Amino acid sequence: MNNTPLSAEKKYQLWINVVSVAVPVVVALLFMVRLPNVESLTFLPPIYASINGITAVLLILAFVAIKYKKIALHENLMKTAIVCSFLFLGMYVAYHMTSDSTKYLGEGGIKYVYYIILFSHIILSIIVIPLVLISYVRARLGNFESHKKIVRYAFPVWLYVAVTGVIVYLMIRPYYI
């Protein structure tokens, strides 16, 4: 049996593929679900926006940690960033299952800026899922050269998603009911 890092990574590929497809599909489906007799969770948007901000800070700190060869710190920061992303996703879905989506009411050029940021945020939030999972698996398996290669893409995409999540919230916040 071949126990190279690549063969070990292939064992996780089905899991990565399933999660990468299932998460966006389940989130999209849950957007169509309204929980009856459940109070709206209108307090959640500033919390999950803050979690996005915390994720961005964690990613930057993890980047600095690895540059200074603080491997254990880097690993802990990255695991915390992943946990924050899961917390964000859970709160985001819970909010949208109990509340109607807020419409952006800005006018003029800022409206186009908002929708460009929102659209790119949504698309990249889907793309980042397999990037993060593959990066994580490669690191866990000790395949650090391969890990570094994908992190060149995963890090900026994940950071962009985290930062634009905060920007989208700040732009739409005045229109929350």
* Residue 36 confidence (pLDDT): 77
C-alpha–C-alpha distance, residues 12 and 14, integer Å: 6
Residue type, 75: E
pLDDT at residue 2 greater than cutoff 60: no
Q: Which residue has the higher pLDDT, 46 or 101?
A: 46
Both tokens assigned to 154: 């995963």
Q: Is the pTM of this model over 0.85?
A: yes
Residue with tokens 């398996």: 141
* Residue 87 confidence (pLDDT): 97
Report the share of the chain in percent with pLDDT over 90: 81
pLDDT digits (tens, 9 = 90+) for 10-62: 889 999 999 999 999 999 998 888 887 788 888 999 999 999 999 999 999 99
C-alpha–C-alpha distance, residues 166 and 48, integer Å: 9
CB 122 within 8 A of CB 169: no
Residues 6+ apart with CB under 8 A from 53: 162, 163, 166
pLDDT band at 8 (very low <50, low <70, confident <90, very high): confident
CB 41 within 8 A of CB 95: yes
pLDDT digits (tens, 9 = 90+) for 75-84: 999 999 999 9
Mean pLDDT for the stretch of residues 128-138: 97
pLDDT band at 3 (very low <50, low <70, confident <90, very high): low
The sign of the dihedral angle between the CA atoms of 94, 95, 101, 107 is negative
pLDDT band at 1 (very low <50, low <70, confident <90, very high): very low
